[in-house]
Amino acid sequence: MRGHFLAFVLAVVAVGCSQPRSREFFQMRENAEYGDTYSFSLDLCDSTVTYSMDFFTKLERAAFERFSSEDIVLDLRWFSPSDSIITDTVRVLSSLPAGGDYYTRDLITPYEGVRGLTPGEWRLKAKVVNSPEAVRGVGIILRREDGTR
């Protein structure tokens, strides 16, 4: 009986010590470089899993004004563990809000570019190309998927 209890406790501890399946990072506009560039450090070290990622943002507006129908365009600069640079662009679609209230609108879009990156600690700079004054901040949801690369 005592052996079964010990095995159960060890299993719970092992699961409790593993990395979470997803992590969220968000930076407010006030903390962005030059008011429009958001920096993130991402641990993609586990070569045995596949990662997926979403970008999200929150737009704000003044009373009685409209939200812009323009998509938010992000210019991305990925800095690899060996300091090489990969550039990309992503559109956060304004036509598909994920939530919000009268003064705010939440936008989210999947990003496929994280698949196939070499394992390691990556740095990402995401620059808002348009409408930076409406953007309250930019965030990332990074998920560890089941299966191997």
Structural domains of the chain, with CATH: 21-145 (2.60.120)
d(CA 71, CA 81): 31
pLDDT at 4: 52
Average pLDDT over residues 27-34: 93
Q: Please tell me the number of Cα atoms within 13 Å of 93 on its side-chain side.
A: 8
d(CA 30, CA 111): 24
Find where tokens 């998927």 sit.
145
d(CA 117, CA 145): 14
Mean pLDDT of the chain: 85
Check: CB of residue 58 under 8 Å from CB of residue 85. Answer: no
Find where tokens 């809000």 sit.
97
Burial of 70 (0-12, 13-18, 19+ CB in 10 A): exposed
d(CA 95, CA 59): 13
pLDDT at position 18 over 60: no
d(CA 101, CA 99): 7
pLDDT at 148: 53
pLDDT at position 16 over 80: no
Residues across the chain: 149
Look up residue 54 and give its two tokens: 């979403």
Report the predicted TM-score, pTM, of the whole model to 2 decimal places.
0.79
pLDDT at 47: 85
Find where tokens 């406790």 sit.
9
